[in-house]
Chains A and B, each alone.
Chain A
Amino acid sequence: MRRHSLSTRLWHWLNALCVVVLFMSGLSISNAHRHLYWGDWGFDARQAWFDVPRFPDWMTIPGHYSLAVARDWHVLMAWPFALGLLFMWLAMLVSRHFVRDIATTRSEWRAQAILDDIVQHLKLDFSHAGGKYNFLQKLAYGVVLGIFLPMMIFTGISISPGMGPAFGWLIDLFGGRQSARSLHFIFAFATCGFFFVHIALVVLSGPIHQIRDMLTGGRIDEA
């Protein structure tokens, strides 16, 4: 049996590309107006709840200040990102990958078990039975797939003035257009945080074997 199904592998690499380009072009867009507000409006630093630092050129797409080109990249990658996530959710539900491997069970939500998991991670001990995900992994993947990535799409839709007529309720749900924009930034940085922890754990747990398995699918030894 494969450790990672073909759908997981395809989506993983497509999504990695999309997330990186979306994030880096997003940093350019952030440089255009470095203030975040709550509510429906906000146009002045004095109204801001947070002033975003200016990101240097090596972090932004394109590598010089151009809001127009950054928006081109952002708008381009939004498509495969959103459709890819939809595809991944359908694949996970149809193949029962979500229910089997990612959804946590009530018995896993015990303080002692969670504490043991955390201690195990801090000791950099990544051995777990049968290549299955442990509680923290399930939780992290569940939160990213179920909250962070969908929130990027829904808050993104709420920022688009062309979508306003059909999704006014979504803008209201987020507490206004500027609140949706703030949440878009917050979830972008949360996703970025996951990205770095994810890479760190891949590196610590045997990067060659992990990357090879995410390319070829790998095998689960059925003892």
Chain B
Amino acid sequence: MKRRSVLAGLGALWVAGCNKVAETDTGAKLLSAAEKWHRGAHRLLIDRNALAPEYPHSAVSPFFRGNGSTDPQNGEYPRHAANGFSDWRLEVRGLVETPLSLSLDNVRKLPQRTQVTRHDCVEGWSAIGEWTGPQLSLLLEAAKLKPEARFIVFHCADEYKGTSYYESIDLVDAFHPQTIVAHQLNGEPLPVRNGAPFRMRIERQLGYKQAKYLTAIEAVASLEGIGEGQGGFWEDRSGYQWYAGI
């Protein structure tokens, strides 16, 4: 028991030291620099169009867990869910030449990509699903990005923990062939639990990037002034890494 207390004391002392380092300016800068090194290394080592692993249909998990919002009750969402999302609009706006406003039918009629991929949650679990939808690049090309556009922001219909969910990615991931606006899971319309009627699939990043209940796709030059400015709901709220490829 005594030896255990000594170990606990040493552990607590060390942990307290690490907390102090993280609180200093230099400490915080160092911690966020590591995320940038990782992103730089990924971009350097891995072809920008290289595909995340895709699986045969037989690999699909028996259930695709919903996480975060699984049944939004705020705003107009319950009404849309009740009438099958027949008057839902998906906007493409911001730094584009031709803003778009698309219905579920408009999106279904575009060329589609179907991919069986693995979803990795930041917490550690994984699930495999088959997703169908148009590539995001198709929508961005139709809307014609202005040259000053550097990031793509996803706006969502759900309020989670009292705040609107949103996410963002850079243009490398936005134009990646596996980045799709999914409206089907395993050949069926997307369930509410998994983000109906539209959710993002950004297969080379963690689950919190896969924004659900998508209402708008916005091209911006900077992430400042959106939410708390950190590029996403979890980034603002809890300091999660903006680059979620690690």
Contacts and interface: CB of A to CB of B under 8 A. Distances in A.
Interface stretch (B96-104, B139-147, B185-193, B235-243): B235-243
A24 interface: yes
Q: How large is the interface on A (under 10, 10 to 19, 20 to 34, 35 or more residues)?
A: 35 or more
A82 to B, nearest CB: 10
A68 interface: yes
Contacts of A40: 55, 59, 118, 126, 128
Contacts of A41: 59, 61, 118, 125-128
B45 A166 contact: yes
Interface in B40-54: 42, 45-47, 50-53
Interface string A12-55: 00000000110010000110110101001111100000000000
Interface stretch (B8-16, B68-76, B77-85, B152-160): B8-16
Interface in B7-29: 8-9, 11-12, 14-16, 18-19, 22
A177 B118 contact: yes
Contacts of A30: 124
A42 B234 CA distance: 23
A115 B8 CA distance: 36
Contact of B52 (A20, A44, A79, A164): A164
B126 A178 contact: yes
A102 interface: no
Contacts, number: 154
B241 A161 contact: no
A163 B42 contact: yes
B47 A62 contact: no
A58 interface: yes
B31 interface: yes
B57 interface: no
24 contacts: A21-B18, A24-B15, A32-B124, A35-B124, A40-B59, A41-B59, A41-B61, A41-B127, A41-B128, A44-B125, A61-B19, A63-B18, A68-B234, A68-B239, A72-B239, A75-B241, A161-B205, A161-B206, A164-B53, A164-B118, A165-B50, A165-B51, A166-B50, A168-B53
Given A42-B125, A62-B22, 9 more contacts: A33-B123, A35-B124, A42-B126, A43-B127, A58-B15, A73-B18, A79-B37, A161-B120, A166-B45
